[in-house]
Amino acid sequence: MKTLLMIGTLMLTLNSFAQSSIEATSATTLSPFATATRLMETALVSSLAPFGSTIATVQRRGVAGKEQLKDELVSLNDDMLSGKVKTIDQVRQPALRELLLEIEADEAQLTSINSVITEGSKLHRIATAVTVSLLAN
């Protein structure tokens, strides 16, 4: 366990560069990535405010939970590109599906997201917000 703990800590401490790499690179794997990066680049501070609760929702998952979300974004992207997945109900990645459903059920959170991301389906808009949140932390 200790070795595992050490590895975990090393990953936390040493990979300050890798973390940012992870965040940025995994986010590109999502179709909504471009929307997310555009938002981040054009109006960084003001555009993050509406994602406050989404960031908190993502943050609650802990380090490993966020890593799992990033991993699942890769296959979700494949599913979206192939046209297999068009709605949240169809998402087959468990951690992402849970998160997307949780955000979908939260009206206030959804309204905040819709105020910033105006294009694309509900899946696209929420997935973009998740991407922004993963980029932000």
Partner 1 sequence: MLRWFALPVFIFCLRSQAAVIEINGPFFLKEVLSETLQLLPSNYLDSINGKIRIESAALKSDQFLSSDDLCRVNTDVTYGFTKKNLIVISSRLIELASDQERVFSCGHKSFRNLLKAVMVHELTHVKDNQEKISSDPDFQRIMGIKRVTRNTRASVMNQNLTSSPDPYEFQNLQESLAVNAEYLVLDPEFECRKPATANYLSRKLGIPLKGQCEKNHHVIVQSAFMEDNYQLPVSINPARIYQIHYLFAGKGKALMSRWGHAMFRLIVCAPFRKVAGPECLDDVSYHLALSYRASITDLNINYLKGATGEYPSQLFVLRYLEVQQEYTKFELRDLFSVPLKMTKFQKSEFLDLTLERYWTYQGKYYFLDNNCGTETLKHLQFALSSSEENLISSLTPLRIFSDILKHNEVLADENLQGLSREQMIEKRFLAPSMFSEIYASYHFLQNYIPDFKEKSLESFIEKTNASDRLRVYESLLSNISSLNMIEQKQLAIKLSHFERYLAGRFLMELPKKAMQQMDKDPELKAEVLEMGQGLKLLSLQPWQVVRSRYGVPLKPEFESSFDSFSQTRESKVNASIEAQMNNLQKILGKNYFKKELTEIEGLKKIKLLTLDFINQTRHYFNPKEDL
Residue 115 within binding range of partner 1, rule CB under 8 A: no
Quick one: which of 79, 101, 104, 114 contacts partner 1 (CB under 8 A)?
101
Residue 86 within binding range of partner 1, rule CB under 8 A: yes
Residue 104 within binding range of partner 1, rule CB under 8 A: no
Three-state SS string over 96-108 comes to HHHHHHHHHCCHH
Within 17-46, the residues that bind partner 1 by CB under 8 A are 17-18, 20-22, 24-26, 28-29, 31-35, 37-38
Residue 5 within binding range of partner 1, rule CB under 8 A: yes
Rounded to 10°, the helix 122-136/33-42 angle is 50
Is residue 126 a contact partner of residue 63, using CB atoms and an 8 Å limit?
A: no
Is residue 109 a contact partner of residue 49, using CB atoms and an 8 Å limit?
A: no
Q: What one-letter code names the amino acid at 135?
A: L
What whole-number distance in Å separates Cα of residue 6 and Cα of residue 12? 10
Q: What one-letter code names the amino acid at 72?
A: E
Residues in contact with partner 1, counted by CB under 8 A, come to a total of 61
- Give the binding site for partner 1 (CB under 8 A): 1-15, 17-18, 20-22, 24-26, 28-29, 31-35, 37-38, 60-65, 67-68, 70-71, 74-75, 77, 80-81, 86, 94-95, 97-99, 101-102, 105, 119-121, 123-124
